[in-house]
Amino acid sequence: MSTFEPPAETLADVVLVDYGLGNLRSATRGLERAGASVEITDDPDAFAAADGVVLPGVGAFREGMENAGPLREALTDHADAGRPLFGICLGMQMLLTSSEEADHEGEGEVTGLDLVPGTNVRFDVDRKVPHMGWNELEVERDHPLVEGVDGEYAYFVHSYYAEPDDPDAVVATADYGVDFPAVVANEAGNVFGTQFHPEKSGETGLRILRNFVEYCAER
């Protein structure tokens, strides 16, 4: 039986960015259960009216940045204004500056949003890639997003992981032959992402989403 109690009222208005690569249905359900009113849109004008923006993502870095290209300025303006921006899986990787994925696929360099400076690198471990399944989270430093989830398990599906330029950008890690960032955040703390899928991570994921919604409400 679930121990997660949804709030009795809406806590925050959240925009879920629709750029063609997101797991929108599951993310919407999770956010709504966590207390958010969710608008799915590709209209950048909606960002300014929202308490927070979620950038989901499943797929390749190049395709993600090409699809989200028309929204790049609106996303960076939102972040630069100190407003909450939450990247999930590919969406988290898109917060960084670049990715080895494009080079690995012979597609050349692709520029990310550069909101958390760094690059995404391919797993070079003696284990099956992609890393797929449940893994334990180890919180490395305080951030509102990870309150109450140290030592809990989340669901991952990825072949690349973030390497931020600033080690302090790493909020939580997981181990897959190498300790890799499971949660990252910018210096100001308002831009953050999870490499795992909170909407697929049971009670742990709901806690993460609730933390995000409460953070948006407090801002």
Catalytic residues: 89, 197, 199
Exposure of 17 in the CB half-sphere (CA atoms within 13 A): 30
Radius of gyration over every alpha carbon of the chain, rounded to an integer in angstroms? 16
Rounded CA separation 204/149 (Å): 6
Phi-psi region of 21 (alpha: psi -120 to 50; beta: other; left: phi over 0): alpha
Helices (H), 11-99: 24-33, 45-49, 61-68, 72-80, 90-93
The helix or strand, by DSSP H or E, that contains position 206, with its residue range, turns out to be helix 202-218
CA dist list (Å): 115 to 22, 87, 91, 171, 193: 20, 11, 12, 15, 11
In one-letter notation, the amino acid at residue 37 is S
**C-beta of residue 162 within 8 angstroms of C-beta of residue 180:** yes
